[in-house]
Amino acid sequence: MRRKKFLKIAGIGTGVLAFSPWLTSCITDNRVRSGTFSNKLPLPNEIRETAFELTASHADVKLTEELHLSGLQFNESIPGPTIRQNRGDDLNIRFKNEIGQDSIIHWHGLIVPPEMDGHPRDVISSGTYEYQFGLNQRAGTYWYHPHPHHITGEQVYKGLSGFFIIEDDEEKALNLPDGQYEIPLVIQDRRVNDSGEIVFNPSMPEQMMTGLLGDLILVNGMPSPYQEVEAGVYRLRILNGSNARIYNISFQDEVPFTVIGTDGGLLPEPIETSELLMAPGERADILVDFSKADSSSIQLISKPFEVPSGGGMMGMQNMMGSDGPEQGAGFSLMEFRIEGESQRNSIALPDQLSEANFPEATSADQTRPIQLDMQMMAGHTINGRQFEMERVDERVKQGDTEIWEFINNSNVPHPMHVHAVQFKVLERSGNRGLIPTETGWKDTVLVMPGETVRVIMKFDAPKGLYVFHCHNLEHEDNGMMANLEIV
C-alpha cells in the first residue's frame, strides 16, 4: 500500500487483536505513541442572519497534497457553515438542492413543526424547499444534515452536515469562553482509496452490521489537524458526526476536562471527567484548561473502550468486520499546540449551570417498549419492522409524557435518536450507568448490545408526522427507523 503523509488510524482492538498494516499512530496503555498533525484546523464560516440560503452542491476538494474528496457541500463548505442564532429568532431558510439526488434537511435536536423537520417523505429532487420556524428552545449545540431515506449515510459522509448553535440569556450570563476561545469540532471517520480519494462504498456486512467504520479521522473536514491555543480555558463544542463510529473522547495524559453541556444545552451541573463516550449524533460541550497540559502540545484522542457483545450471534461483529479499525479501537484525533499565556486562564462556574426541569418519572402517561433487533434476512428492525414511509408506528398524544424503553437485543450498538423532543435518560441496565452527558437534555442515546435504556420525554411539538431512528446511518438507511405521529 502506498505510504501517505496523513495519519490513518490504527487501533488496538478491544478483544480480538486488530492488526493493521498502516499503523502510523496508535495508543498503547492509553498513551499516544506518535502522530504528526500538520494541517491547520479549519473553522467553518458562521451564518448569523435569520434569512439565508443553504445550497447543497457537488464539491471537488483537495484537502491536502495527497488527499482528495469528490463530495457534497453546503454553501461551498465542508462541513457546512455554522448557523448561530438566538433563542426566540424566527428563521427563513431556503434549501436549494443541486446534487441531482433526493434530499431534505433535518435540524437535529430542534423542535419544529413536522413539515419543517426534514421528514424523508418531504425530499426534493431539485429546486428549493422553504423552511420557516421559530427557535423556542434552550441554547445548545444542535446540527443539521440531510435526511432522505436510504441515502442519508452517503450524503452526510460526502460532506453535508453543519453545526446549528442556539444562544440565550441564561447561557450568556455564565460568561463562558467565546470568540476564539470557543471552538466547534465535528469528528468524522472516513475511508480513502489508494489514489487518495475519500470514497463511500460500505460493504454488505458493513451496511448490515457495524456501519461504515473508516480509518482516517477528519476534524472539521480536515485530516491530521492541529489548532493553536493559549494556555487557558477553552470551550469545545464536540459533535460526533460520523456514520457509525463511537469515540471515547479524552486528552493525552488524562488531562481532565469539564462537561458543561450536551445535545439539549447546558447540564444542570458541571461534571469533571477524563473521558466521555460519544456515539454518532451526540454532542458534548466541554471546558478544558490547556495550562494543565504537561507540554506545549496535547492530543485529543479516542481511548479504547469495550463494546459488550450482547446476545445472539456472538462474534459476528468481528467475523463480518469492516476494513477500518473495529469499534472500540483507540487512536488520536487532533493536536492542540499551546503557546503563550491567556487572559482566559480560569473560569468560575456556578454550582448550577441551568434550570433543567426534567419531568418526574411518576408523571409518565405510559411506558413504551422499543425492541431493537437484528434479523438475519430483514436487517435491523425497530419493534420487528423496518421503515415504511407512510405507516405510523407509534402514536403519541400531544402533551403526554412518556417513558420509552430502548431494548437492544442485537450485538451491535444503536445510538437511538427521537425527533421533535429532548429527553432525559432515566436509567440504563447493566453496569455502565449514566455518563456525564446523560445528566442533561438529550436527543440521542447510546444503547449498547444487551442494554435497556429508559428515557422520559414530553411531547409538546406540533401535531403531525416525525421519525425516530438509530443514528448509525447505515442502520438508519437499512430501515432502522420508524414513524412517530403526535396526535
User: Residue 249 is placed in which grid cell?
Assistant: 473522547
DSSP string, 341-364: E-S-------S------PPPGGG-
Q: Choose from ligand C2O, Cu ion, none: what does 470 bind? Cβ within 5-8 Å by kind.
A: Cu ion
Q: What's the one-letter identity of residue 255?
A: V
Size of site (CB under 6 A) for ligand C2O: 10
Q: Please select the residue that binds ligand C2O; options are 11, 146, 153, 281, rule is CB under 6 A.
A: 281
Among 134-142, 282-290, 454-462, 467-475, the segment contacting ligand C2O (CB under 6 A): 467-475
Q: What's the one-letter identity of residue 84?
A: R
Cα–Cα distance, 224 to 157 (Å, whole number)? 18
Q: Choose from Cu ion, ligand C2O, none: what does 469 bind? Cβ within 5-8 Å by kind.
A: ligand C2O
Phi, psi of 474 (to 5 degrees): -70, -40
470 binds Cu ion (CB under 5 A): yes
Q: Please select the residue that binds ligand C2O; options are 145, 283, 414, 458, rule is CB under 6 A.
A: 145
In angstroms, the first-to-last Cα distance of the chain is 56
Provide the sign of the torsion angle of the four alpha carbons 154, 157, 161, 163, taken in this order.
Answer: positive
Among 47-55, 252-260, 323-331, 415-423, the segment contacting Cu ion (CB under 5 A): 415-423
Three-state DSSP class for residue 400? coil
CB of residue 240 to ligand C2O, shortest distance in Å: 11
Q: Choose from Cu ion, ligand C2O, none: what does 245 bind? Cβ within 5-8 Å by kind.
A: none
Q: Choose from Cu ion, ligand C2O, none: what does 472 bind? Cβ within 5-8 Å by kind.
A: Cu ion
CB of residue 88 to ligand C2O, shortest distance in Å: 24
User: Residue 43 is placed in which grid cell?
Assistant: 473553522
Q: Choose from Cu ion, ligand C2O, none: what does 475 bind? Cβ within 5-8 Å by kind.
A: Cu ion
**CB contact at 8 A, 232 and 290:** yes
CB of residue 108 to Cu ion, shortest distance in Å: 4
The beta strands (E) that lie in 304-351 are given as: 331-341
Q: Name the residue whose CB lies closest to ligand C2O.
A: 108
Q: Please select the residue that binds Cu ion; options are 235, 414, 424, 454, rule is CB under 5 A.
A: 414
219-234 burial: b if 16+ Cβ within 10 Å, else e: bbbbbbbbbebbbbbb
User: Residue 79 is placed in which grid cell?
Assistant: 462541513
Cα–Cα distance, 63 to 79 (Å, whole number)? 12
CB of residue 241 to Cu ion, shortest distance in Å: 13
CB of residue 58 to ligand C2O, shortest distance in Å: 22
DSSP summary character for residue 244: S
Q: Please select the residue that binds ligand C2O; options are 4, 283, 469, 475, rule is CB under 6 A.
A: 469
Q: Please select the residue that binds Cu ion; options are 176, 475, 477, 478, rule is CB under 5 A.
A: 475
User: Residue 474 is placed in which grid cell?
Assistant: 447505515
Among 37-45, 184-192, 385-393, 463-471, the segment contacting ligand C2O (CB under 6 A): 463-471
Mask for 127-146, x = binds Cu ion (CB under 5 A): --------------------
Cα–Cα distance, 340 to 331 (Å, whole number)? 28
Contacts to ligand C2O from residues 402-431, by CB under 6 A: 417, 419
Q: Please select the residue that binds ligand C2O; options are 8, 87, 119, 147, rule is CB under 6 A.
A: 147
Among 24-32, 63-71, 299-307, 418-426, the segment contacting Cu ion (CB under 5 A): 418-426
Cα–Cα distance, 340 to 291 (Å, whole number)? 10
Tell how far CA 244 is from the center of its chain. Answer: 9
CB hemisphere CA count around 248 (13 angstroms): 18
**CB contact at 8 A, 264 and 47:** no
469 binds Cu ion (CB under 5 A): no
119 binds ligand C2O (CB under 6 A): no
Burial (CB count <10 Å: 0-12, 13-18, 19+), residue 127: exposed
Contacts to ligand C2O from residues 99-118, by CB under 6 A: 106, 108
Which residue, 168 or 476, is less far from ligand C2O as judged by CB? 476
Q: Which residues bind ligand C2O (CB under 6 A)?
A: 106, 108, 145, 147, 281, 417, 419, 467, 469, 471
Residues within the interface to Cu ion (CB under 5 A):
108, 414, 419, 470, 472, 475
